[in-house]
Amino acid sequence: MPATRSSSSARRRSTRALSPPASPGAASVPAAVLSPEEASSGSLAAAPAPAPREQAHDSEGPTAFVVLTTYFAYAMLVLMGHIRDFLGRMAGSRYRVLNGVKGYAPLLQDWENFYTRRLYHRIQDCWNRPIKGPPFSATMEVIDRRPVPRTYQLEPTEKSGKFLNLGSYNYLGFADDWVESCRGAVMKAVDQFSVSSCSSAVDIGLTSLQTELEANVAGFLGKEAAIVYSMGYGTNAASIPALMGPGTLILSDALNHASIVNGARHSGATIRVFRHNNPAHLEQLLREAIVAGQPLTRRPWRKVLVVVEGVYSMEGEIADLKPLVRVAKRYKAYVMLDEAHSIGALGKTGRGACEHCGVDTADVDVMMGTFTKSYGAMGGYIAGSKELIDYLRQNSSGSVYGTAMSPVVVAQVLRAFEIIEGRDGTDTGARKLQAIKDNANYFRSRLEDMGCELLGQKDSPVVPLMLYNPGKIAAFSRECYKRGLAVVVVGFPATSLIESRTRFCISAGHTREDLDLALERIEEVVDLLRLRYRKRWMG
């Protein structure tokens, strides 16, 4: 299923439900950095959500009934899949992999492809829905699709309808008021520059607009310098390999995004994963790493980088930054913070997770973020010391080989910054920032009142609602679709097997009426699918 997270890292419930062994490092030596309650809550067995307690939604996890029915459903799906495969092999199939090409090893191997073939394709209409026009918060136009006969594909039809958008990352609603807020600046850039420089930033891709944006990003975050890249995914994938290499250690949160995972893999550094949002486990791993050194050679690690995200996109959880950064600093590890979902959406002035958690940006060595979400554009940035940015400019593949950011997109981001910082002379930015917070909290509290099982915390613009059973993934999406709601559902492998969920992304562009309407319809679906897991053991 379309995933925004790698399969291996998505094991949220398992980290919580399994009893982690009491950490030996923390046990033998008093935890120097964490206060007693912090240390105990993180490392003790079966502790509840390790995030800030006052905010955390204290999830109890699924009941035994839910777990058993979910596994049963998957078992049935697998069984039916095998029967279909068997028949397909006998009678010929629309899947080429089942028919085989003589002499070649199958391009898609059976066991890799089975899941796609027999589980994903049954409910693929829940993803990749094409839209017409911009992702408006209230009136997004979604195009209907129909299956193409004798294939497994869907094709768009002429029909389309207006939907309430609960799926796009349009956090500050720049897609909604684009004509008033950003159009002028963007169109000017089209005239002055071209749509693309078709060149890397070290050749002639660097425009005067881009240098302005880089200075702006640095100033916004209180860092010395910044560099921007054309693609958010590429920002992580290109800069981590430039900084880390063999003999270095990357400590990565269990739920980090695939771009971090791929960047870390490509760097050649050793990767160790600490439990999601768990400073105590991070401390334990750091102690072990420094005391024991590298495996086999026993030499000390050259350097250690701790990588966390500001808001985890599939969980809506805000990083417990303060203790995480304190632990990292205590052990002289460097900190990299990925603010893809938090920059422009969290904090009083939109400065992200650092502002929200009260952490000085000076303590975060590498600040990373993207312009896709809050800024209504595309691309990503790295902000840090001048030395770091100068180095990345010359030594990261995104800067040397990648296409530079389109000047038009740069203009959009610059304009969005102007509005967020209030430099345009209006209070639009401040209103947007207040609206996203109010909307998200209102939506979350109403869903909580319904008795649904939610993840994440207050103030987070991402509100995931647990579905568990695989059948409910498609049912939820289709029922909402019938009722004019465009929602995002995710299942394995983006989450662990039983933790299928739907994820609402709230926008500043939603009005209270939009949300009330949405909640009313969601409540119908919740009743239909029995999703009140917090109230009833059978949902």
Partner 1 sequence: MALRIAAVLAVAASVAVLANGQSVPGAATKAPAASAAKSNNGDLLAGLLASLGDWVKPADDFVQTATEYGKLMSGTMTFLTSPSSVYSEIVGMPRRAEDAWAFAQRKPLEAATRAIIFGIIIATWFFTKPKDVIRASGLTAAQQEDLIEDWEPEPLVPRAPRGTYVARPATFVVREQRVKTVLVEGRDTELLNCASADFLNVAGDPETKRVAKAALDVYTVGSCGPRGFYGTTDAHLSLEAALADVIGCEETITYSDATATVASAIPAFAKRQDVVFLDDAVNHAVQTGCTLSRCKVVRFRHNDMADLERAVKGECGSKRAPPSRRYFIVVEGIYANRGDICPLPEILAIARRFRVRTIVDDSLAFGVLGKRGRGTAEHFGINPLDVDITVASMATSLGSVGGFCYGSDEVVDHQRISGAGYVFSASLPPFLCATAEAALRRFTADATVCSQLRDNARTLRSLLELSRGRLKVVSSFEESPVIHVRLSWHSDRSVNDAHRIEEARADSEDPESLTRWKYAPRRSRPALRRFQGVEDDDLDRVVAEAADRGVLVARSRYLVSDKLAPANSIRIHVSAALTNEDLQKIAVVMEEAVEAAFEARDPAAHAAPARADTLRKRR
The residues, ordered by sequence, that sit 6+ positions from 28 with a Cβ below 8 Å of its Cβ are none
- How many residues touch partner 1 under the rule CB under 8 A: the total is 167
- The minimum distance between CB 27 and partner 1, in angstroms, equals 10
Choice between 130 and 527, CB closer to partner 1? 130
- Which of 29, 80, 215, 362 binds partner 1 (CB under 8 A)? It is 29
Alpha-carbon span 515 to 512, nearest angstrom:
5
- Which of 22, 53, 112, 524 binds partner 1 (CB under 8 A)? It is 112
Choice between 55 and 395, CB closer to partner 1? 395
Which residues partner with 391 through β-bridges? none
Whether residue 450 contacts residue 533, with contact meaning beta carbons closer than 8 Å, is answered with no
Q: Which residue has the tokens 């345009």?
A: 424
- The minimum distance between CB 194 and partner 1, in angstroms, equals 4
- The minimum distance between CB 343 and partner 1, in angstroms, equals 14
Which residues partner with 249 through β-bridges? 270, 304
Pick out residues in 413-472 that bind partner 1 (CB under 8 A): none
- The minimum distance between CB 183 and partner 1, in angstroms, equals 8
* Residue 162 is a binding residue for partner 1 (CB under 8 A): no
SS3 state at 22: coil
- Which of 154, 326, 391, 458 binds partner 1 (CB under 8 A)? It is 391
Please count the other Cβ atoms lying within 10 Å of the Cβ belonging to residue 450. 18
- Which of 226, 243, 328, 518 binds partner 1 (CB under 8 A)? It is 243
- Which of 48, 52, 55, 63 binds partner 1 (CB under 8 A)? It is 63
- The minimum distance between CB 431 and partner 1, in angstroms, equals 19
- The minimum distance between CB 124 and partner 1, in angstroms, equals 9
Q: Give the residue among 176, 180, 179 at the shortest CA–CA distance from 137.
A: 176
- Which of 219, 222, 451, 493 binds partner 1 (CB under 8 A)? It is 493
- Which of 228, 304, 306, 307 binds partner 1 (CB under 8 A)? It is 304
Alpha-carbon span 240 to 218, nearest angstrom:
19
SS3 state at 463: strand
* Residue 135 is a binding residue for partner 1 (CB under 8 A): yes
Pairing of strands 462-468, 500-505: antiparallel
- Which of 266, 272, 446, 521 binds partner 1 (CB under 8 A)? It is 266
Q: Which residue has the tokens 């949220």?
A: 12
Scanning 47-55, 242-250, 431-439, 450-458 for contacts with partner 1 by CB under 8 A, the matching segment is: 242-250
Q: Which residue has the tokens 């002429």?
A: 158
* Residue 22 is a binding residue for partner 1 (CB under 8 A): no
* Residue 316 is a binding residue for partner 1 (CB under 8 A): no
Alpha-carbon span 391 to 405, nearest angstrom:
19
Pick out residues in 70-99 that bind partner 1 (CB under 8 A): 70-71, 74-75, 77-78, 81-82, 85-86, 89, 96-97
Choice between 333 and 522, CB closer to partner 1? 333
The residues, ordered by sequence, that sit 6+ positions from 438 with a Cβ below 8 Å of its Cβ are none
Alpha-carbon span 451 to 193, nearest angstrom:
53
- Which of 2, 92, 147, 184 binds partner 1 (CB under 8 A)? It is 2
Pick out residues in 164-203 that bind partner 1 (CB under 8 A): 165, 167-170, 174-175, 178-179, 182-183, 186-187, 190-199, 201-203
Alpha-carbon span 463 to 477, nearest angstrom:
15
- Which of 40, 93, 349, 397 binds partner 1 (CB under 8 A)? It is 397
Pick out residues in 272-301 that bind partner 1 (CB under 8 A): 287-288, 290-292, 300-301
| Binding string, residues 33-52; x marks residues near partner 1 by CB under 8 A | -------------x------
Alpha-carbon span 215 to 202, nearest angstrom:
17
Alpha-carbon span 376 to 539, nearest angstrom:
37
- The minimum distance between CB 127 and partner 1, in angstroms, equals 5
Alpha-carbon span 534 to 539, nearest angstrom:
7
Burial class (CB in 10 A: 0-12, 13-18, 19+), 169: buried
Whether residue 341 contacts residue 461, with contact meaning beta carbons closer than 8 Å, is answered with yes
* Residue 258 is a binding residue for partner 1 (CB under 8 A): yes
Report how far apart the first and last C-alpha atoms of the chain are (Å, whole number): 24
